[in-house]
């Protein structure tokens, strides 16, 4: 029998509005639906997967900005990486970092299965160590890994973003608990949001979509 996590991510918006928004949003491709089904059949829980609202925002940002080189921190089973690959031109590339061996194997299998392995490179290991040595600049960076390290990743990401490049950061509202932090993750995310808000090097919008998504543009 499948296990359920004690504290799964819940929507911060009204559930009916969330469902309506999903119904009115471009539908996931067949391969993305298959990837979700495959993830569900392999794992006890898949609530870390960012979902169609975040996925479609990423795709839209890639198409509108023309970003060709993308860095993702936090692959999980490859959902957002494959979504982003769908919006990339033929010569585009994604580097995605994952430290969990089980997720690495599953993501790798999905990249092969869904024919995007030529566009996606999976870096295996701790992003906190690996990110510093990644060379070149990126048009878009998607930050979706260990929440307490967001401020560290933020500085690294700013160094690696092209001027005008986008940093998209997931879970910035942490179930709304950033308003009154009662654990170290909520506290770290609250500090991160404040850091971005004060930073003159960027402009940003915090979207109350799903668990909170901030889109940051490097000036």
Decide whether 47 or 203 has the Cβ nearer to ligand SAM: 47
Q: In which element (H, E) is residue 86 found?
A: helix 79-87
Tell me which residues touch ligand SAM (CB under 6 A).
48-50, 74, 76, 79-80, 97-100, 103, 126-128, 144-146
Shortest distance in whole angstroms from residue 10 CB to ligand SAM? 15
CB of 163 to ligand SAM, least distance (A): 25
Backbone φ and ψ for 140, nearest 5 degrees, come out as -150, 135
Contacts of 140 (CB under 8 A, 6+ apart): 58, 61, 62, 65, 67, 70, 71, 84, 165, 166, 167, 168
| Number of neighbours of residue 93 by Cβ within 10 angstroms | 16
Output the smallest distance, CB 216 to ligand SAM, in A: 17
State the nearest-atom distance from the C-beta of 85 to ligand SAM, in Å.
13
Based on CB atoms, which residue is closest to ligand SAM, 128 or 204?
Answer: 128
User: Of 57 and 99, which CB lies nearer to ligand SAM in the complex structure?
Assistant: 99
Q: Which of 53, 111, 121 is nearest to 77 (CA)?
A: 111
Q: Which residues contact 145 (CB under 8 A, 6 or more apart)?
A: 73, 74, 97, 127, 153
Residue (45 or 137) nearer to ligand SAM, CB: 45
């Amino acid at each position: 029998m499948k296990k359920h996590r004690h504290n799964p991510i819940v929507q911060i918006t009204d559930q009916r509005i969330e469902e309506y928004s999903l119904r009115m949003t471009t539908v996931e491709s067949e391969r993305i639906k298959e990837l979700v089904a495959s993830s569900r059949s392999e794992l006890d829980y898949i609530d870390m997967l960012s979902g169609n609202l975040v996925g479609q925002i990423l795709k839209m940002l890639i198409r509108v900005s023309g970003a060709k080189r993308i860095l993702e921190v936090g692959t999980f089973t490859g959902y957002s990486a494959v979504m982003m690959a769908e919006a990339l031109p033929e010569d585009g590339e994604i580097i995605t970092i994952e430290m969990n061996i089980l997720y690495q194997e599953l993501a790798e299998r999905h990249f092969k299965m869904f024919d995007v392995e030529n566009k996606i490179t999976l870096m295996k290991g701790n992003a906190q160590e690996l990110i510093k040595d990644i060379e070149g600049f990126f048009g878009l960076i998607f930050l979706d890994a260990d929440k307490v390290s967001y401020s560290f990743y933020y500085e690294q990401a700013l160094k690696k973003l092209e001027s005008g490049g986008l940093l998209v950061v997931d879970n910035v509202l942490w179930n709304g608990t950033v308003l009154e932090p009662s654990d170290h993750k909520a506290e770290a995310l609250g500090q991160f949001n404040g850091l971005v808000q004060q930073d003159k090097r960027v402009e940003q919008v915090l979207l109350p979509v799903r668990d909170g998504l901030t889109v940051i543009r490097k000036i």
